[in-house]
Amino acid sequence: MILTTPTAECVKWRNQLLDGVSPQDVGFYRSRLDELDRTKGYVAANTWLRDSGKRIEIDKMLSRLGSMRPCVQAEAKRLSKKNINTALVWVRSVVDRLWYCEEWIMDLTGDKLSDWAKEKSRRFEMSAKGKLVRLHDDFFEFVKAQAKLAGSLFNCWDDLDKIEALIHRMFTPEWWKRQAKRQYRNIENIRRECGQVCYKQSAYVSRWGIQRFRKQRQANRAYLESMEAVNQYQESFTLAQLAQKSISNPINCKAELMTRIKGCQHFAVENGHKCWFITLTCPSKYHAIHKETGWRNSKFEAFGRPTPRDAQAHLNEVWQAFGKACSNKGIHHYGIRTVEPHHDGTPHWHLILFVNPEQSGAMLGEFRKQAYKVDGEEAGAAKRRFEARPIDPAKGGAAAYVAKYVAKNIDGLNTDGECIGIDDETDLDFINSAERVQAWKSRHGIRQFQFVGSVSITVWREIRRLKDSIPKTFLNIYEAAKANDWKRFTQLMGGMGAGRNQTLKPFYESLELNQFGEPKQCVKGLIAVTAEYLSTRLYEWTVQRVGSGSGLGLDLQEAAKPFPSSRVNNSPPRDYSRLATGGGVYLCQ
């Protein structure tokens, strides 16, 4: 005889097991239980429900994910077909990454983010000052735990001055906002793991990622237009106007990059150096999705689903090992490194390297050796991992070769303001593709361009600020910089690889303190090897809201009270006494 009516205890047990599951999922479970009750009896129904425990746990976690639920649910379903345990572990990791300081990070946007940051800073300030007043032995550990919980990258726990500055920062909502926004990277990485970043879906970044980037860019533009800088002569410019004059402007950024590349090329030709175009990619386990098929990469999942930053860290390790080997063997090279994403957001490098022809073989051999150190025998590695091609100066040289890579990664436009074509990786025009590359770079915090073995770009930028009355010691270098002659500038600065022996160096001063009591290290001018000094910062600027007529009263400073500051030095009082008792170093006002 089949018992079809569950007992009261069975009903109670079922309700407890399904508590926390979303209404739509509860409907499925109850419908299935009713069907089993009628056809096989309530004991068989209970057995089925008990065996569904891992699936129920996944559904409970999914019910908490809000806007992230659809993509995470689809990925969990795909993984469950292979192995329910794999799906459960992954969903748990998703919840851990999205749950941030008692909130879901995807919900911390707009006004809610502002209100949350104000509340967190207020609570931290009250707790910290309360512990100071009572001289709690756990004050140091409390600060450390709160910073770690917020995801702070601070690691100078043996430096009391920096700890003081950190505490001042944690008293401000702005600090908590910055920490929260850094967690947006987790959202993008999870969407990438769910297959939302690929050629067939959304190349380089997810749709969410590109939308967030556009909103942030609009907000940044509005802020720059609302603020102005006023100097001691009462000349004022909006920050947006100043940004247009800097390398924040894509036109200026491309012009500077191309000037430097052409200068390196001319320097190489003059010295008889050979030019190589090198492409370096990651092992297949760093790639999430196959472009041709759109299938998931099982090696990626087995390796723990590495992020684009993990892949970039691997490429950096290869580069550092290569650089160390070259240094040990006396192989001197210089050039530029560019980073760009594959369709699934995995970075790869393109390098233009110049080297003495006699050292070319040794350099390439060492680079190839380091590139193949990890999974060098896997299928496809010989074809894709490392590629080196010589560049013929007669066919345009390095500048012509790299111009496309510079444009496609900045704005997709040529010198005439026209789109340079279609991106093979995405099938989008380069304007849209470049926007996605910029969003990818911003979200993952990856540096796109870096020169290798060259002279100081800071000196170049600083000396170009000047217009007249140039001392003789600096005159030739000034004239080369103003003429956009990077080759001549490099020669006068000591040549490629001059390093610390360059003719001029930036001169930094750290006399002023910022609003957190830390010395502000600012470039004030240039200093020659003869110890002669040249000031390049001729104006003192105050930032304020447009039309306000006074220095900007930052909320940052207000939030740090009762540690007052002034516009002269922006520093809180430094009359703290240091107490060393039991638990460590403490801070008292």
Catalytic residue among 401, 478, 508, 586: 401
DSSP classification of residue 378: S
Q: What stretches of 171-238 show up as alpha helix (H) in DSSP? A: 173-182, 184-193, 207-226
Is 401 among the catalytic positions?
A: yes
* Residues across the chain: 589
Q: What is the rounded CA–CA span in Å between residue 198 and residue 202?
A: 5
Domains and CATH numbers, the chain: 8-83 (no CATH), 250-452 (3.30.70.1150)
Please give the angle made by the CA atoms of 414, 416 and 422, to the nearest 5 degrees: 40
Going by their DSSP bridges, the two strands 533-535 and 522-528 should be labelled as antiparallel
pTM beyond 0.85, yes or no: yes
pLDDT grade for 550, boundaries at 50, 70 and 90:
low
Given a contact cutoff of 8 angstroms between Cβ atoms, the answer to whether 515 and 556 are in contact is yes
pLDDT digits (tens, 9 = 90+) for 487-521: 999 999 999 988 889 999 999 987 777 788 788 88
Given a contact cutoff of 8 angstroms between Cβ atoms, the answer to whether 355 and 268 are in contact is no
In this predicted structure, the answer to whether residue 567 has a pLDDT above a threshold of 60 is: no
Catalytic residue among 184, 405, 478, 586: 405
pLDDT digits (tens, 9 = 90+) for 443-494: 999 999 999 999 999 999 999 999 888 898 899 999 999 999 999 999 999 9
Given a contact cutoff of 8 angstroms between Cβ atoms, the answer to whether 355 and 363 are in contact is yes
Residue 502 backbone dihedrals phi, psi, to 5 degrees: -65, 150
Identify the CA nearest to 16 among candidates 29, 28, 2.
29
pLDDT digits (tens, 9 = 90+) for 135-177: 666 888 899 999 999 999 899 898 888 888 999 999 999 999 9
Residue recorded with tokens 């150096």:
273
Which two three-digit tokens encode residue 83? 């192995």
Is 184 among the catalytic positions?
A: no
Q: Which of 1-10, 126-135, 350-359 is predicted with the least confidence, judged by mean pLDDT?
A: 126-135
Q: What is the rounded CA–CA span in Å between residue 121 and residue 107?
A: 18
Q: 3-class DSSP state for residue 413?
A: strand
Q: What is the rounded CA–CA span in Å between residue 73 and residue 59?
A: 8
Instruction: Please report the pLDDT score of residue 16 as a whole number.
Output: 93
Identify the CA nearest to 257 among candidates 333, 319, 336.
336
Residue recorded with tokens 């496609």:
408
